A and B are shown apart, each in its own frame.
Chain A
């Protein structure tokens, strides 16, 4: 039991530091994340957030506009791309606790300077 409490303590400590980290990656998330993991973790704390979770606040059409590229490179828009249109779930390229690479980098050398993982 004692061991269990130590483990539980470590886990909780881990969760707290994780949420701090996630707010640091995107400081505009500070207000909504706070200490309430459930804001994003709508499937429960032990599960990844659902694909709809980020869409509570973000609109994919707006995101597509923000990341639009010139006509020649229009299909390199990560939020409206050649291969999957607007249907790539956010967590494919973005992680709040662990930075991620853009999906495109599997095959292409495109630069996404504002990509925050």
Chain B
């Protein structure tokens, strides 16, 4: 039984507490122990905890570097973590597609974009390390069989188009090929395996882990805890904590259970907290990012998120109460999420703003049909029809469309300074496609502090904790206040590969 409050589950369980508590065997909380005198159930070469981008890339890279006995553990019943349901957007500087499209880009340029979004507290060294190896990571996905749309996208906060996206517009277009590759090369994969703590040697080094087997997420059953010795080390690739309402509210009290979340249910943060208990440095935990392109009309990441990410550069976002724009549609995520959250009625209730796109331009994205089909978006033949449906003041909306279309023509947005390059020639004209926007908790910038070798720093000694490596969203400080879209996949994969390289040098 997890002691984590999953979207308010606790209140429900509290009512059953006494009866349920008596009937089940309550497993101990995750706590690390001295390995001294421990009876090892299993001895392996490398332990990887988590099976998203970071864990998968680490497993493949470690194999390439000669590891023979890698064991990847996943808490959930299915593999891929949050990576399997994300948008599949991959930013890298100096890619083949940039050469084809004539986009001038560099490591410096990508890092500078990220530093601006990070608002002064991002880790330049780590950003530079990731950007410098991003093309290698992209190549790993291609080698495994990932397929990408034949065009680049320019996401909010990026100064150039540098983002690839899988043809299925989902991270599964990467996790599925990488997972199959892991199976092919003989990585041992274990689902329903919950990390329960580290086993620590005499000098504070990580020598193994306690792993609960036969674990059923959200259910109560004892399972069995195994002590697993990791001869080379342990790579923590356990992701963020966006689904853990207690943890995220401890950092930002506005992120209550009422705020949606795009993450997979397993993003609960136990691995990160266990590293803190061991001595890892908590970094930037309060920087939790909400996706400004999500929809209140569906759960999780859904269909609208990718639809919006693609369409925002040539769309107009308007307030329902005025029909006026209220933000630069491709500003960085925090700027947009904050602006969206201000769309409220007099009582303070949310009035999600509208994203209006010409149907002819929106339909270039494969999700457009699905968005309409599954009633999470709508098509309107006239501006009157649109305004009536949502109760938007018609005159205000018409005036805004005319004004915005002027910016499309001149290439200069005098309202919000939006980069109109991708909007060139794309006037807002009937028929329209419309979705509603409302931010969802999406990414935790905070986590444990790591260096460019993916080693985890100790709070008191300032040195790296021997035997312990971390990669992906569980690490903190890299992006600072706000992460740019499509910069997580390269980070997860590069740092996963880095962890594998460091560990294979030992």
Contacts and interface: CB of A to CB of B under 8 A. Distances in A.
A83 B214 contact: no
B300 A46 contact: no
Interface of A: 43, 46-48, 50-51, 72, 75, 82-85, 87-89, 91-92, 103, 105-110
A50 B190 CA distance: 13
B192 A83 contact: no
A50 to B, nearest CB: 8
A107 B82 CA distance: 12
Contacts of A82: 168, 170, 172
A92 B85 contact: no
B78 interface: yes
Contacts of B168: 75, 82
Given A82-B168, A84-B78, A107 B191 contact: no
- Sorted nearest first, the 5 A-B pairs with minimum C-beta distance are A107-B300, A89-B77, A83-B172, A83-B84, A84-B78
A87 B374 contact: no
A92 B216 CA distance: 9
A48 B301 contact: no
Nearest to B189: A87
A84 B179 CA distance: 10
Contacts of B302: 107-108
A79 B38 CA distance: 42
B375 interface: yes
Interface string B176-220: 100000000000000110000000000000000000001010010
A109 B302 CA distance: 9
Given A48-B219, A105-B299, A91 B170 contact: no
A92 B172 contact: no
Given A46-B221, A51-B77, A92-B77, A84 B298 contact: no
B80 interface: yes
Contacts of A108: 298-300, 302-303, 374
B339 interface: no
A87 B79 CA distance: 8
Interface in B132-184: 168, 170, 172, 175-176
